[in-house]
Structures are given as structure tokens and as C-alpha cells.
């Protein structure tokens, strides 16, 4: 990979980027990112008033974005437009609270044509928060 920002490998832009930074990257195979959801995010006001929790769908999107960075980091594949094609499984193992730093891991498992499967996991302070599998599709 070049010296560019790995987040530039995402088609997303604010306010829909759910990765603050990438801390490990094996191009095309694996990525580890981190995200801290601020307590004042608009979607936390209703999820849930007085007891805000990071929505599971936000965790899934963050994991898919880290998988997209891993996939798009292959030098010859940087121009792909990736999208979340399937959520094969997802378990939520503990609530994630605002202002907790979430570690997001995506590991490539399989590929069939323009579909790539990733095992994904989110944790907070070493404690598993979510795990599952997502499938990314792409068009060149």
C-alpha cells in the first residue's frame, strides 16, 4: 500500500464513515480499525433516551467498512466500488456505549467472482462485542 490514507479506500464520506483510523493492514486480506462513537451523535438521542447504546446496525456498517478497506487495499483493485452484499451471520455479545473505543477486525475468508466473504469482530477493551460474517460485492 502507498502512504495514502486507508480511509480514502472507502467510497463513504462524512457523516457516514464509521472508522476513525486503521491500525493494521494486510492488503487484500485483513484490516484492523478503531472507532469511538461520540455521545452527541444524533442517532443516540433516540437509541435509547437516558441509556444510549451504539446501534447494532452501526457496528455492522463499521465492520463492513473495515472489510472494504482490506479488500480495496490490494494495489491493483483500488478503483473498485464495494458494497455490502450480505450479512451471513451476526451476534451481538455485549452492548457498546458511547465514547467507548471499538476495535474492528475484518479477515478475508473466501471469494467467489465479485463476492468476498469476511469474518468480522468488534471488541471493547478486549471484550467481544459483536462477531459474524459479511459479504462484500464490487464493481470495477
Domain ranges of the chain: 6-139
**CATH code for the part of the protein at 6-139:** 3.10.129.10
The Cα-based distances of 69 to 4, 17, 20, 64, 107 in angstroms read 12, 12, 12, 9, 11
Which active-site residues does the annotation give? Answer: 47
Confidence class for position 12, pLDDT limits 50, 70, 90: confident
pLDDT of residue 85: 96
111-133: pLDDT as tens digits: 999 999 999 999 999 999 999 99
The pLDDT > 90 percentage for the chain reads: 80
pLDDT of residue 76: 60
Amino acid at each position: 500500500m502507498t502512504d495514502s490514507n486507508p480511509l480514502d479506500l472507502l467510497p463513504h464520506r462524512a457523516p457516514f464513515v464509521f472508522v476513525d483510523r486503521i491500525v493494521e493492514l494486510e492488503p487484500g486480506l485483513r484490516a484492523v480499525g478503531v472507532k469511538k462513537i461520540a455521545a452527541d451523535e444524533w442517532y443516540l438521542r433516540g437509541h435509547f433516551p437516558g441509556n444510549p447504546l451504539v446501534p447494532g446496525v452501526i457496528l455492522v456498517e463499521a465492520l463492513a467498512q473495515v472489510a472494504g478497506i482490506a479488500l480495496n487495499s490490494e494495489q491493483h483493485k483500488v478503483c473498485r466500488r464495494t458494497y455490502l452484499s450480505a450479512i451471513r451471520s451476526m451476534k451481538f455479545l455485549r452492548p457498546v456505549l458511547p465514547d467507548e473505543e471499538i476495535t474492528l477486525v475484518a479477515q478475508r475468508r473466501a471469494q467467489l467472482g465479485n463476492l468476498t466473504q469476511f469474518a468480522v469482530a468488534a471488541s471493547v477493551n478486549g471484550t467481544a462485542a459483536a462477531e459474524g460474517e459479511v459479504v462484500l460485492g464490487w464493481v470495477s
